[in-house]
Amino acid sequence: MENFPVEILHRIFDNLDSETILLSIRPVCRLFRAVINTYNRYIFNFESVSKSNFHLQCRLIRPENVIALILSNNEHIPDQISLFMSSVRLRQMTRLQSITFIGINELQLNNIVKRINLNSLTSFTLHIEKYDDRRKKTTLNFLSLIMAQSNLQKVELNIRNDRICEISWPVHCRIKHLIINENITFDNLCKILSSASQLHKLIIKQDLPTMIDHRKLTSTFPQITSLTIEQLEVSIDRLESFLMLTPSLIYLKLIGKECVTDGKRWEQFIQINLPHLDTFQFFMDVKKPIGQTREDLQTILDSFRSSFWTKYKKWFIAGELNIKRPHDIQLYTIPICKSTLKYELYSEKIFVYTTSDISPSITENINELNLSLKMQIHDNTIPKQLLLRMNPLFPKVTKLQIEFECKPSLKSTKFFQSLIDVSRLVEVTLEKYSFDKGDEIVLCEIIHFIEQLPNLTSLTIHSMFCKYEMYPFLDNICSIIPRQIKYLQLAISKLDQIKMILDRCQYLSVVKFETTRLKLSAEITHWFTENTIDSTLTRQNGCDIIWIGKRKSPMIVNHKRIKSSDD
């Protein structure tokens, strides 16, 4: 590799994260160190990083060599943005092309934006967690300045409507891709679309604006060619009124309730109002006033069997009916267009399709699965069709949430391999209304199973209420926590358990301890102050969240008896 031109090595670095470049490649040899010192296209992504590596990256990279910045204040990394502001010379960040702020407060936003150069900005993502009306005017001035940048093409806003509505959008806004995460009024949306003449892709992650005034529908927005609406809960009439504003649509995705149940009506509407539509995806939860049967589901699907759907457009539809809940049906295009899905392992379902060619890729878009466990799990209680599968039903799931109901027990883990490709799992959440002594065995069995997963980095064990019910077997749980994890959420009852966890999990960078007593919370704070250097500690919603700094050796536990019976 020493004979490679520097440009080739820099192109390789473009496909690596900054942590790998700086901490794995840079120390290898003097050649790599010299090449890396001239590299100037770093992407700072601090969404998941250890405290020590965070400091190293801030120290080693010159700010002017960073082209993308992702900062996050969340439960995985508390108060990261404040630490970044004190660690980096913001005025030297002169080449930023992409900025993402997640969970920022308005004071932090204003202090950062006034110091960095925005002239090269092409992408901007903002989620404000804490608002301060005293800083509203300053925030709006900065947001208006950002929207006026000549190179800006992609914007994602997760902010309140009262902030969005007062942004001054330039007359000839050059944004091409807009994502809106919060509710927005119809007037505000029309104001944005009227200014953004080059906007092609619009994603609305909340329901449609509630006030669609038909008297104001005097103009359309033909620049929009791609539209996605999630959490849709409006009438079909209101939805059609809105879609008539976007006659040039090529791509349309709808996720929500009720709106798409009549294939003939949609066929007519699309032919008249959306003549250019090439891709139509939807996932609808439909509640019927009377229980449905296979014949009823077949009748609904028949309206999607015309040549328009099956031959001309080649849009194929699936209908799903849970026998135990016959009032609820699901209608969706194939493959499923959602990324998150709830799956009930034991439910008997009826499926009807408008095509006989059901590809295994029907679930390829699902990367997060919510699995409900309600009873004893062994090979006889799992549907045979699932156990006999050659390939996993959900092959691309990386996040698994298991919700325990009643008193399930686990006699077999075979169904996991039939359900998902376990080697891909990165995050696992185990959740119940209240874990107690009777759940110890099943929890231990699942933890022993996931300990073998090569890519697992995050584990959450969450008891929503009565956390003290877990105290009698917490020592056992702490002693088997998977060693490879970097993030852990768990209830604890005494300081010994912290040392047990940290001794076992050497890669752990963030812990979220669920504690019910303020005295224990204070002792946790003192313990990390005494046994680590530069840890960041916060308390939110009954949890102590620690971004772990450098560990001292040996770690000391003050063996005080702690009363654990109080909730």
Percentage of the chain surpassing pLDDT 90? 68
**Whole-number pLDDT of residue 215:** 46
Q: How far is CA 221 from CA 178, 197, 217, 224, 248, in A?
A: 14, 8, 11, 6, 8
User: Taking the alpha carbons of 72, 77, 81, 87 in that order, is the dihedral positive or negative?
Assistant: negative
**Is residue 274 domain-resident?**
yes
Q: Tokens 């502001």 identify what position?
A: 85
**Is residue 526 domain-resident?**
no
Backbone angles phi, psi at 80, to 5 degrees: -70, -35
**Whole-number pLDDT of residue 388:** 55
Q: Please answer whether residues 450 and 456 qualify as being in contact, where contact means their C-beta atoms are separated by less than 8 angstroms.
A: yes
pLDDT in tens, 432-480: 988 888 888 888 988 998 998 999 999 999 988 878 888 889 999 999 9
The confidence band for 491, taking pLDDT boundaries of 50, 70 and 90, is very high
**Is residue 25 domain-resident?**
no
Q: Is the pLDDT of residue 309 over 70?
A: yes
Q: Is the pLDDT of residue 77 over 70?
A: yes
36 DSSP assignment: H
The confidence band for 368, taking pLDDT boundaries of 50, 70 and 90, is very high
β-pair partners for 341: 369
**Whole-number pLDDT of residue 562:** 44
pLDDT in tens, 219-234: 899 999 999 999 898 8
**Is residue 483 domain-resident?**
no
Interior angle at CA 544, CA 543 and CA 546, nearest 5: 140
The confidence band for 564, taking pLDDT boundaries of 50, 70 and 90, is very low
Q: Average model confidence (pLDDT) for the chain?
A: 89
Boundaries of domain holding 309 = 215-365
**Is residue 329 domain-resident?**
yes
Residues in the chain: 567
Question: From its phi and psi, is residue 256 left (phi > 0), alpha (psi between -120 and 50) or beta?
Answer: left
The confidence band for 159, taking pLDDT boundaries of 50, 70 and 90, is very high
First to last CA, the chain: 61
Helical packing angle, 518-531 and 495-504, nearest 10°? 40
**Whole-number pLDDT of residue 291:** 92
Region 326-337 average pLDDT:
94
**Is residue 207 domain-resident?**
no
**Whole-number pLDDT of residue 216:** 56
Helical packing angle, 106-113 and 136-147, nearest 10°? 50
Domain count, the chain: 1
pLDDT in tens, 379-408: 555 555 555 566 888 999 999 999 987 665
**Whole-number pLDDT of residue 496:** 93
Percentage of the chain surpassing pLDDT 70? 91
Region 488-507 average pLDDT:
94
Backbone angles phi, psi at 499, to 5 degrees: -65, -40
**Is residue 246 domain-resident?**
yes
**Whole-number pLDDT of residue 35:** 93
Largest distance between two CA atoms of the chain: 76
**Whole-number pLDDT of residue 438:** 83
Q: Please answer whether residues 6 and 33 qualify as being in contact, where contact means their C-beta atoms are separated by less than 8 angstroms.
A: no
Report the C-alpha gap between 108 and 75 in whole angstroms. Answer: 18
**Is residue 332 domain-resident?**
yes
Closest CA to 318 of 309, 327, 326, 155: 309
